[in-house]
Amino acid sequence: MSQNRRLVYAKPAIFKSHGFLNIANSIKLIPQRDMKMTVQVHPFFDPATYTYSYVVSDAASRQALILDSVYDYDPASGRVSTSSADAVIEFVRSHDLDVRWILETHAHADHLSAAIYLQEALGGTTGIGSRITEVQSVFSGVFNLGPDFVSDGGQFDRLFEDGDSFEFGEHTVRIMHTPGHTPACITYVVNGCAFVGDTLFMPDYGTARTDFPGGDAETLYNSIQKILALPEETKLYMCHDYLPEGRNEYRCETTVAAEKQGNVHIHDGISEKDFVAIRESRDADLAAPRLLLPSVQFNIRGGRFPDEESNGTAYFKIPVRKV
């Protein structure tokens, strides 16, 4: 399905967003004053899971990295589709970009990652935070994956430690561990931009939930302080936007200054204790994400399905919770 056809079925607010339509209609890179010294950030929005994926490119070398991609999945039928990922592939090819990295900010619990599908099409090295091993261990137990599933992060090409960095064209990408939503969450910082995953959301929506296994509100508070210690003009790119009341456009970009001034959960003056109380009270009312169970099983495998069974079909498990 083409990205334009997909929009036919999207709700009206999407048409005003940074989503597929806008992107499809502005298939040019954002002009910059000094093309040699900038990275260009191109967002893709998946309205089914409210997820922002990004293609980040270096103007001079045309090297690119892809962040938090989406593999479409319908839990009712079990059908998968590659329309979101294909839009990314089309963009990369039409701009003649050289994909070096396919990255995750964390193991997502609300959508499946298209990392492997994209890697097969475009090349590049997959990467995630080194503490993915903790997430794998927990969910290996939850889904009783047995000895065939190894919780060593080997499903990813590169595991990033806090403070790691890598060269990207003329730039350096720095990795900050920013746990709290999950233990493995990381933020990628490059050329005045930070891709914060599920930590902060847009100022009028707040912060990410901390009620998943290994999540912790106090830890998230401290991670967010690390992000807010970046220069005030740093551009922050969200992994999600859920369109809070009072706004009719999806947004993915803000700044450190704007978050410090106006984030509804954690602006300047909110103490750690206050934040933990706000976060935990909100978490108590949140339902499980629609794609939680398939997403986790897919994403801890680095973006792969479980092995096919003897009939040639792969299955996700659904635990029955009696309490």
Enumerate binding residues for Fe ion (CB under 5 A).
108, 198
Angle at 276 between CA 290 and CA 111, to 5 degrees: 20
Nearer to Fe ion, 86 or 198 (CB): 198
Q: Give the strands of the sheet with 158-160, arranged side by side.
A: 39-46, 51-58, 63-67, 98-103, 125-129, 158-160
φ, ψ dihedrals at 36, nearest 5°: -75, -25
Using CB positions, name the residue nearest to Fe ion.
198
Smallest gap from Cβ 108 to Fe ion, in A, equals 5
Smallest gap from Cβ 160 to Fe ion, in A, equals 17
Smallest gap from Cβ 225 to Fe ion, in A, equals 20
Smallest gap from Cβ 199 to Fe ion, in A, equals 10
Residues in the chain: 323
Rg value, the chain, Cα: 19
Nearer to Fe ion, 60 or 142 (CB): 142
Nearer to Fe ion, 57 or 178 (CB): 178
Smallest gap from Cβ 37 to Fe ion, in A, equals 32
Q: CB of 3 within 8 A of CB of 12? A: no
Nearer to Fe ion, 108 or 177 (CB): 108
Nearer to Fe ion, 52 or 91 (CB): 52
Give 186's contacts (C-beta < 8 A, 6+ positions apart).
105, 106, 128, 129, 160, 162, 175, 176, 177, 178, 197
In the three-class reduction of DSSP (H, G, I as helix; E, B as strand; rest coil), residue 133 is classed as helix
